[in-house]
A and B are shown apart, each in its own frame.
Chain A
Amino acid sequence: MSGDQILGVDRLTMRFGGIVAVQDLSFAAERKKITALIGPNGAGKTTVFNCITGFYKPSGGTIRLSHDDGRVIALERLNDFRIAKQAKVARTFQNIRLFPGMTALENLMVAQHNALMRASGFTLLGLVGAPVYRDAEKRAIDLATDWLRRVNLLDRADDAAGNLAYGDQRRLEIARAMCTEPALLCLDEPAAGLNARESAALSELLLSIRNELGTSILLIEHDMSVVMEISDHIVVMDHGVKIAQGSPREVRDDPKVIAAYLGTDEDEAAAVMEGGS
């Protein structure tokens, strides 16, 4: 595969008891590109995500994250919070997981926890009100404000996250993930439940994250208008295995993908494949 990849998944396997959710999956995500992981429901996409972000420990295979500075981190060996903290992988959730009782601004401040903890001398400097910490907090608020502006929620900064509209919550969750200043942003169905206008705004937001900040993005998405518009590379999964990959155009015309999405049985799929090739 190409040398400039940020994420390399190699022969990833995940079993739950006797059920094989993901089998020998290999793919790569390129640096400063948007890679989409698509497939029908139950294909194992979220399982792959949970393996990458450390919520599951893979049964087999390797996941390598290479940073800009050449550091390579074996994600399958780190557990949950360390992946976000050390490997700088941020994620959002399929069912939004904000802190509903905290304001939008507070949500973004929590995201900067590790940086602020260091600045507050692990609480001791902060407790006595050291100027070092006060400056750091001010910078953190500035970063949070900047992100609130980007996701168009600046006027809702002091409202509880649980009170925001659904689409706003989706965008706030992305902003929160970005406030951890990640190298790789993993988005689990960011367009789910959004209307056409909101989806378009989301596409714009993701493109700006890639173009202006150079953050690599890996996303799971069912909304094909979003996927086809913004993805640089698409990986298609079905029943835990990769069935196709390539540019949006290549994937769109792939008979196996069409078969998987139309839900044909295996014989028919084989027939479609033969017919197509």
Chain B
Amino acid sequence: MTAPSTHTAKPATGIVALLKSAFINALIALVLFSLMVGIRTEAGHDGQLTYWTRFGELASLVAIVFGGSIVIELFRQWIGPTGAEKLVPPAVRNGMSFLGRYLAPALLIFTLLVPVIFYNQRYILDLAILVLTYVMLGWGLNVVVGLAGLLDLGYVAFYAVGAYSYGLLATNFGWSFWICLPLAGILAAFWGVLLGFPVLRLRGDYLAIVTLAFGEIIRLVIINWQDLTGGPNGVSGIPRPSFFGIPLDNSDDGLAAKLGIEYSATHRIVFLFYLILALALLTNWVTIRLRRLPIGRAWEALREDEVACRALGINTTTTKLTAFATGAMFGGFAGAFFATRQGFISPESFTFQESALVLAIVVLGGMGSQLGVALAALAMIGGFELFRSLEGYRMLVFGMAMVLIMIWRPRGLIGHRAPTVYLTKAKAISSDLVKEGHG
């Protein structure tokens, strides 16, 4: 048996060290799982506490952790020194960069064809609409978190404002979707600015906490302002979108009748699909465009170094506010779409979990990368559906997949940054240099 290396600079590689680390991991697992898995408590018939022990399961879990940590450690030593980039062989990386060039157009063409390919599969169309909604939300939040580097944990608030704006304007005044859509965006942006004014002097963790609170405040106001919002009962009977005034229903002046084709419920789904696709692409186009304008460069500069921005005469407050308002506006658009798709909205749809999910999409995708965010939304929403057959283990498998992706690519799926302007050749900037922002 080889003695473990005593050098502190070099990680120990001997078999003793291997067993030692596996043993420590197993011990931690034992402590953690002994209460969570080892003892099961339930309320009995008369409300008394009953419990029983499950030492068999506990033992197998600890054994899995022990074996698993040995396998992972061996795997790590086999691949080479730890370090995020080294885990990916160069051949794979070259293939990825080749893929990267054609991935975005290929994905776009595929997306455009989805309703044609899966015309008869309602489930896939619904899932695609859901994925696109999150792509749009991710792209909207990407402006705030990815470009301006402001950690916003309350993004769902703007989604809610957009949804309720359309829901209430449509049900109370009978306004059409196409009038309400810009209004929803403007109102959400207005709330973004309103939130922005007091909180943008905060940075980092403090900003995150206040935005988190703002998200909750909006939800609580919606629950409690019963006269206006219907409280927990929500708003129902929200009109479906029309094809520029022509309803998509079975009536005589519906679109199907006008075109002289047989009515099918799928028409509306396909219409909704292209609607959200158009909205998402608008978000993408505006964001890409803004990045190349002075305001977008100022957002990124703000993420890199706020003090230097001020020294260059950039008004950091208004710059942050515009980022907040732009992100909020896209959230509002997505919210209006959500309301018209569901036909019913209630505060339950706008919990913190939604904010966390959208933020996870942005972080997983690689902050600032449009393609990365789209891929992450596909992976998060689509992947979550993919594991549906695993039932109770869905969250577990999903969580593990996320952890593995973050080990593999700690700066997100697409971590590098593309410059917005160049003299001779645009070179991708390594993610090591790009800052995450601090406020």
- Given A113-B294, A158-B419, A163-B433; A102-B301 close (CB under 8 Å): yes
Contact (A105, B422) CB under 8 Å given A126-B293, A158-B427, A160-B430: yes
Cβ of B417 under 8 Å from chain A: yes
Asked if A169 lies at the interface with its beta carbon under 8 angstroms from chain B, I say: no
Partner of B312, one of A111, A120, A127, A163: A111
Residues of A within 8 A of B311 (CB): 53, 55, 80-81, 84, 90-91, 93, 97, 177
**Contact A109 to B433, CB < 8 A, known contacts A53-B311, A97-B305, A127-B293:** no
Looking at the assembled complex, report how far the CB atom of A122 sits from the nearest CB atom of chain B, in whole angstroms: 8
Would A157 and B423 count as touching, CB distance under 8 A? yes
Q: Using Cβ atoms and an 8 Å threshold, which residues of chain A touch B314?
A: 81, 110, 113-114
A98: B residues at CB distance < 8 A? 305, 308
Interface contact A105-B312, CB-CB below 8 Å: no
B242 touches A (CB below 8 Å): no
A interface majority secondary structure: helix
| Residues in A whose Cβ lies below 8 Å from that of B305 | 97-100
A211 to B171, CA, bound (A): 70
| Shortest distance from the beta carbon of A79 to any chain B beta carbon, whole Å | 9
Say which residue of B304, B417, B426, B434 sits within 8 Å of A158 (CB atoms): B426
Give bound CA distance, A80 to B304, whole Å: 18
Q: Decide: A110 and B301 in contact? CB cutoff 8 A.
A: yes
Interface size class of B (residues with CB under 8 A): 35 or more
Q: Does B286 contact A (CB under 8 A)?
A: yes
A127 interface neighbour in B289, B423, B425, Cβ under 8 Å: B289
Contacts of A111 in B (CB 8 A): 312
The interface centre, meaning the residue of A91, A106, A133 with most chain B CB atoms within 10 A of its CB, is A106
Contact of A99 among B294, B304, B421, B424 (CB under 8 A): B304
Contact with B along A98-128 (1 / 0, CB 8 A): 1111110110011111101100100100110
Query: What is the distance, in angstroms, from A162's C-beta to the closest C-beta of chain B?
Result: 4
Chain B contacts for A97, CB-based, 8 A: 305, 307-308, 311
Task: Please state if A103 and B429 are interface contacts (CB–CB under 8 Å).
Answer: yes
| A180 CB–B CB distance under 8 Å | yes
A139 at the interface (CB under 8 A from B): no
Q: Is B315 an interface residue (CB 8 A)?
A: yes
Residues of B within 8 Å of A116, CB to CB, are 293-294
Q: In this assembly, does B394 line the interface, its C-beta being within 8 Å of a C-beta of chain A?
A: no
Residue in A84, A97, A99, A100 with the greatest tally of chain B CB atoms within 10 Å = A99
Please tell me if B298 contacts chain A, counting CB pairs below 8 Å.
yes
Is A85 at the interface (CB under 8 A from chain B)? yes
The residue that A101 contacts in the complex, of B304, B322, B423, B425, with Cβ under 8 A, is B304
Q: Which residues of B contact A127 (CB under 8 A)?
A: 286, 289-290, 293
Residue contact A158 to B425, C-beta cutoff 8 Å: yes
How far is it, in angstroms, between the C-alpha of A51 and the C-alpha of B152 when the chains are bound? 33
Indicate whether A26 reaches chain B with its CB closer than 8 angstroms: no
B293 touches A158 (CB 8 A): no
A158-B422 in contact given A81-B316, A110-B301 (Cβ < 8 Å):
yes
What residues on A are CB-neighbors of B289 within 8 Å?
A: 126-127
11 other A-B residue contacts (CB within 8 Å) besides A106-B297, A113-B301: A80-B311, A81-B314, A93-B307, A93-B308, A101-B417, A109-B421, A113-B294, A113-B297, A116-B293, A117-B294, A180-B312
User: Would you give 21 A-B contacts (Cβ < 8 Å), ordered by A?
Assistant: A83-B313, A90-B312, A93-B308, A97-B308, A99-B305, A100-B305, A100-B434, A101-B433, A101-B435, A102-B297, A102-B419, A103-B419, A103-B421, A103-B429, A106-B419, A106-B421, A110-B294, A114-B314, A123-B322, A157-B424, A160-B430
- A residues contacting B by CB (< 8 A) are 53, 55, 80-85, 90-91, 93, 97-103, 105-106, 109-114, 116-117, 120, 123, 126-127, 133, 137, 141, 145, 154, 157-160, 162-163, 176-177, 180
Query: Which 6 A-B pairs give the minimum distances between C-beta atoms?
Result: A84-B313, A101-B434, A85-B313, A99-B304, A162-B433, A116-B294
